[in-house]
Amino acid sequence: MASLSSSNESNNKNEAPSEDDILNDEAEERHHLECNIAMLQYSIFMKTEIERRENHLKQISNVQKQYLPYEKMINDIKKLKQAVHANQVLLNNIADDSIYDKHREYLNANFVRCTSKPHQMSKVKTIIEQIVRDWSKEGEVERNECYLPIINELKKRLPIRNNTNNDNNSNVEEDCRVLIPGFGLARILVDIAALGYAVEGNEFDYFMIFASTYFLNGGLAPYSIDIFPYIHSPCNILSKDAHLLKPVKIPDLSTIDVLKENPNLKMRMCSGEFLHVYRNKEYIEHFDCITTCFFVDTAPNIIEYIQVSICILYAIHTLLRIVLYNTVLYIYIYI
Ligand SMILES: C[S@@+](CC[C@H](N)C(=O)[O-])C[C@H]1O[C@@H](n2cnc3c(N)ncnc32)[C@H](O)[C@@H]1O
């Protein structure tokens, strides 16, 4: 059975690491750990918010209570706590899969003394919210709006080549290699790989990488997990039960089923910064196509993204004429 492999940009280094490399690796490991801690501390942050609301409720006098659906308000707080717990269970499972073994002991001893930064907590909440679009039935309409135009364009520009061997051991030379930088929560990787493309995803955000790895490799049964993605936005809602406290079942697609249906599925994740990873010589003329969704506008310098993209595409598939590495290359660019 095909496996969903992943690699880290540091895997590419063959030489002995320099002092700078070692310092960078240490900083990277610290960041990796901090991201995991942030996921594990989600319910602690949410508890503060819930306690604030509870305290407000407690201060309501008996006389005032009769003008309010007080019991329901107390009950909603209870449901909110259960919802936070359900989200935390998911985050614990994601963190449990991603945490380095060498960090477990440190965490056991120091977890209570760690405090995640607000911007990290905001990323944790974003992950829970974005899971809806990528991995739920409820997200299908939005997903189709984002991904279908890309997938249809890919099928038109780069139809899957027929395998002349006509057997299951497809020749690597014949793969249609597609790079998807900034893959987010990875659903687009699965959807494109299931069409028969050899897909490589690139992402540098650990939160995204951890969650994606969990969805791709976690062996999750369809609709086996309930999350509560709307609890972080209590404003402008008509009904708490119909919106704020609405559970969403995930995943709508199990990668186990995808692998069963596509035993030759070719999909890998490469973690690291796009320019840093793909400037590597081994990637020159490596891909037939690059597809991205909400990624190009993340470029601090768009020209650099385009230059690297041109280098890593096979000359034959490129359209924009430029001279690079003494080769004439062409590229299709849709922004
Ligand atoms: C706006 S999000 C879009 C994510 C996903 N494609 C989607 O549609 O949900 C941009 C993604 O690109 C990633 N990203 C941004 N700059 C990157 C870089 N230089 N290298 C690798 N990933 C990057 C971010 O971490 C983020 O996940």
In which band, very low, low, confident or very high, does the pLDDT at 335 lie, cut at 50, 70 and 90?
Answer: very low
98 within domain boundaries: yes
Average pLDDT, integer, range 95-116 = 88
Ligand 1 atom index nearest CA of 277: 20
In a domain, 150, yes or no: yes
pLDDT given at position 7: 67
Q: What pLDDT, on the 0 to 100 scale, is given for residue 163?
A: 53
Confidence label for 85 from pLDDT (cuts 50, 70 and 90) = very high
Which pLDDT tens digit goes with each residue over 8-42?
Answer: 654 444 567 677 776 678 898 999 999 999 999 99
pLDDT at 220 over 90: yes
Please give the distance, rounded to the nearest whole angstrom, from the Cα atom of residue 183 to the centre of ligand 1: 6
pLDDT at 98: 92
The Cβ-side half-sphere exposure at 65, using a 13 Å CA radius, reads 12
SS3 label, residue 154 = helix
- In this predicted model, what pLDDT tens digit does every residue of 224-256 receive, in sequence order? 999 999 999 888 888 888 889 999 999 999 999
- Whole-prediction pTM: 0.86
- What total number of domains does the chain contain? 1
Domain annotation covers residue 9? no
> 54-80 pLDDT, tens per residue?
999 999 999 999 999 999 999 999 999
Confidence of residue 136 (pLDDT cuts 50, 70, 90): very high
Sign of CA dihedral 142, 148, 151, 154: negative
Cα-to-centroid distance, 238 and ligand 1 (Å): 33
325 pLDDT above the threshold of 90: no
Q: Tokens 């790989």 belong to which residue?
A: 193
What rounded mean pLDDT belongs to the chain? 86
Ligand 1 atom with least separation from CA of 273 = 20
Q: Which atom of ligand 1 is the closest one to the Cα of 146?
A: 8
Is residue 202 lining ligand 1, measured as CB closer than 6 Å?
A: yes
Q: Is residue 6 part of a domain?
A: no
pLDDT-derived band at 162, boundaries 50, 70, 90: low
- Residue 307 corresponds to which tokens in the numbers above? 């230059």
Report how far residue 322's alpha carbon sits from residue 35's, in angstroms, rounded to the nearest whole number. Answer: 41
274 CB less than 6 Å from ligand 1?
Answer: yes
Angstrom distances, CA of residue 283 to CA of 24, 150, 256, 271, 310: 23, 23, 30, 15, 11
Domain residue limits at 69: 16-329
Assign 81 a pLDDT band (cuts: 50, 70, 90). very high
For the chain, state the CA radius of gyration. 23
Task: Give the pLDDT of residue 109.
Answer: 83
pLDDT at 286: 94
C-beta of residue 197 within 8 angstroms of C-beta of residue 177: yes
Please state, as a whole number, how many other Cβ atoms lie within 10 Å of the Cβ of residue 212: 28
Q: Percent of the chain, pLDDT > 90?
A: 70
Ligand 1 mean position, distance from CA 112 (Å):
31
Structure tokens at 61: 């006098």
User: By alpha-carbon position, which residue is closest to atom 12 of ligand 1?
Assistant: 182
**What percent of the chain is modeled with pLDDT above 70?**
84
Q: What is the pLDDT of residue 314?
A: 83
DSSP string, 183-224: -TTSHHHHHHHTTT-EEEEEE--HHHHHHHHHHHHS-PPTT-
Confidence of residue 317 (pLDDT cuts 50, 70, 90): low
Q: DSSP code of 177?
A: E
What is the model's pLDDT at position 332?
47
196 CB within 6 A, ligand 1: no
- pLDDT at 329 exceeding the cut of 50: no
The predicted pLDDT at position 172 comes to 46
Band (204; pLDDT cuts 50, 70, 90): very high
